[in-house]
Amino acid sequence: MSDSWQDLSYRSQNASENASENALENASDSIEQDSNEEQDDSKQLGGYSMYQQGIRDMETLGLVDVGSLASWTASSEKQDNEVMKLRDESPDTYWQSDGVQPHYIDIHFAKKVSISKISIYIDYALDESYTPSKITVLAGNGFHDLMEVTGIELNEPEGWVHLGFPTEVDQGQILRTFLVRVLIVANHQHGKDTHVRAIKIYSKATTYDVGNTLLGAFTSKRLAMESVIR
């Protein structure tokens, strides 16, 4: 009788200890899951903050994005990841190529524009082998006379990459052109297709003045935007 009681007591104690251990494990798993979710949320918020900060930096320099005045096309695009994802103001979406290399984006203006910088948003942490490792920018009056004007090699970039132009391109490091081609020369880890999350074409804010070469005879930015052939 005594042995039976001791056996029951021992088993009850073991069951209680196992229940406590399970409760601790479940609590630990829950805390770890919450921590991972918080890290994911923090990373997402951090990416958006980094995206917005890059735009503010350009605005501080007196630059405005004139990409809305152009028509945008790409060498190829995957369904649901079309080239206009580059213009939706979100670092969470991206253009993805879907064809043979080289991959490129053409930005074609109806009027000659004065470009100070080209900014490209890419994120190796999210895109890995889809991330460009070498980018070249070409410009010209049309497809027949495109020439290289700037470029960059990248090592696991996260955020905005701002490209300016050497003085030999034009006086005052300003590029005047009708057509810009952003060419993805290579990807990290020899990736085949590529991801680009945003591109902005920056011009001096003063070029929005009426009568300037960018807007010509138009009396508002809205009219100029509507004049672009798409």
Structure confidence at residue 205 (pLDDT): 87
| Pair (27, 133) in one structural domain | no
Tokens 């921590």 found at: 35
Cα–Cα distance for residue pair 27/78, rounded to 1 Å: 42
| Pair (44, 149) in one structural domain | no
- Domain residue limits at 197: 63-226
Structure confidence at residue 12 (pLDDT): 55
| Pair (205, 92) in one structural domain | yes
What's 112's domain CATH number? 2.60.120.260
Q: Whole-prediction pTM value?
A: 0.72
Mean pLDDT across the chain, nearest whole number? 81
127-163 pLDDT, tens digit each? 999 999 999 999 999 999 999 999 999 999 999 999 9
| Pair (22, 85) in one structural domain | no
Structure confidence at residue 207 (pLDDT): 53
Determine which of 15-29, 39-53, 60-74 has the lowest per-residue pLDDT on average: 15-29
Tokens 């995206």 found at: 51
178-219 pLDDT, tens digit each? 999 999 999 999 999 999 999 999 999 875 443 344 444 333
Tokens 């935007």 found at: 225
| Pair (71, 153) in one structural domain | yes
> How wide is the angle at C-alpha 130 spanned by C-alphas 191 and 38, nearest 5°?
140
A 10 A CB-CB count for 84 gives: 12
| Pair (181, 81) in one structural domain | yes
C-alpha pair distances (Å), 44 with each of 34, 52, 156, 195: 15, 13, 18, 17
Instruction: Report the number of distinct structural domains present in the chain.
Output: 2
Structure confidence at residue 206 (pLDDT): 76
| Pair (95, 195) in one structural domain | yes
Within 13 A of 48's CA, how many CA atoms are on the CB side?
10
75-112 pLDDT, tens digit each? 999 999 999 999 999 999 999 999 999 999 999 999 99
